[in-house]
A = this chain, B = another copy of it.
Amino acid sequence: MKKVKLQVPATVANLVCGFDILGMAIHEPYDEMEIKLLETPEIIIKHLDNFGLPEDPSKNVAGVVLLKIQEYLNLKNGFEVIINKKIKPGSGLGSSAASAAGAAIGANALLGKIFTEEELVYFAMFGEELASGVKHADNIAPCIFGGITLVKSSKPVDIIPLNAPDLFVTAVHPQVEVKTSDARQILKKNILLKDAIEQWGNIAGLVAGIQKNDIALIGRSLNDVIVEPIRSILIPKFNEIKEKSLQLGALGGGISGSGPSIFMLSEKQETSQKIAEMMKSVYDEIDIESFVYVSKINPSGIKIIEN
């Protein structure tokens, strides 16, 4: 019986100014997944975590991805998936993307690597569709490709892997609920052209900074004049955390995905640790439980640890 074990990392979508197009893999937190190829056609999903996620494959993010692959290949085999989820659902750290991308990468490894990375993104997006109603790839792409990715198009899938600068990421997940659908609905359908121009100047600067490894340019491009001013209202203490992070030496940062997690980039580990402590204490003060993670940008994405 063939099986693989995977470490499937959290991801930060949007990267401040790159709403709906940019994403970044980090090292911590990550889900553990074990996927077996079965001789029989069932899809079996087991969650070792206690998040109460559905185990019916047609209602499970990993399950629907495997069903799609099975259907596409007319496969007689099934899969058994054991998930130990450590990326909390609803954190804004790509929890559903991790299950979806892990299922796609795991199945592909078991089937002899028959798919390209872009095809894996295509299959994994069915998981995102189940989770949020939208087939978006901004978390899935960095999970599968690693590093920082540009989703130039999700239909057809056109992913541009960018460089992974040698930077530290601090992420804080305050235990408040921000529904992705709410975070999307409060955005305005119309924006000012002049704001859009400022935003695409920042996006162009961020992509150029990443590719030129110009850390200062990355820092001064991490500005979002369109989404952050609206969405940050849903996240307690967002402005205080951002301001204090910059004072402590962060290059910049903002909302991770649709929140409530907040992330900050730093050049030095020491800075990122100090930011982590500050974040924790800000939420402790107002009695909001929080989880803090410090790691580097993850250049390789999902790790197959046992085959």
Binding site for B on A (CB under 8 A): 18-22, 150-153, 158, 160, 162, 187-194, 196-197, 199-205, 207-209, 211-212, 214, 217, 220-221, 226
Contacts and interface: CB of A to CB of B under 8 A. Distances in A.
Contacts of A189: 192-194
A20 B197 contact: yes
Contacts of A187: 193
Given A152-B221, A192-B190, A208-B162, A199 B200 contact: yes
Contacts of A220: 152, 158
Given A152-B221, A190-B192, A197 B21 contact: yes
25 contacts: A18-B200, A19-B200, A21-B197, A21-B201, A21-B204, A22-B204, A150-B205, A150-B208, A152-B202, A158-B220, A160-B205, A162-B208, A189-B192, A190-B190, A191-B192, A193-B226, A196-B196, A196-B199, A196-B226, A200-B200, A200-B203, A204-B207, A207-B211, A208-B211, A211-B211
Contact of A217 (B160, B188, B205, B208): B160
Given A20-B201, A151-B201, A162-B208, 15 more contacts: A21-B201, A22-B204, A150-B208, A152-B217, A152-B220, A160-B208, A160-B209, A160-B214, A188-B193, A189-B194, A191-B192, A191-B196, A200-B200, A207-B207, A207-B211
How many subunits of this chain does the assembly comprise? 2
A211 to B, nearest CB: 4
B190 A153 contact: no
A213 to B, nearest CB: 10
A19 B208 contact: no
Contacts of A208: 150, 160, 162, 207, 211
Contact of A152 (B21, B190, B204): B204
Contacts of A153: 201
A158 B22 CA distance: 23
B150 A204 contact: yes
7 cross-chain pairs, A with B, having the tightest CB-CB distances, nearest first: A211-B211, A196-B196, A207-B207, A152-B205, A200-B200, A190-B190, A21-B201
Contacts of A202: 152
A201 B152 contact: yes
Most chain B beta carbons < 10 A, residue from A22, A192, A201, A203: A201
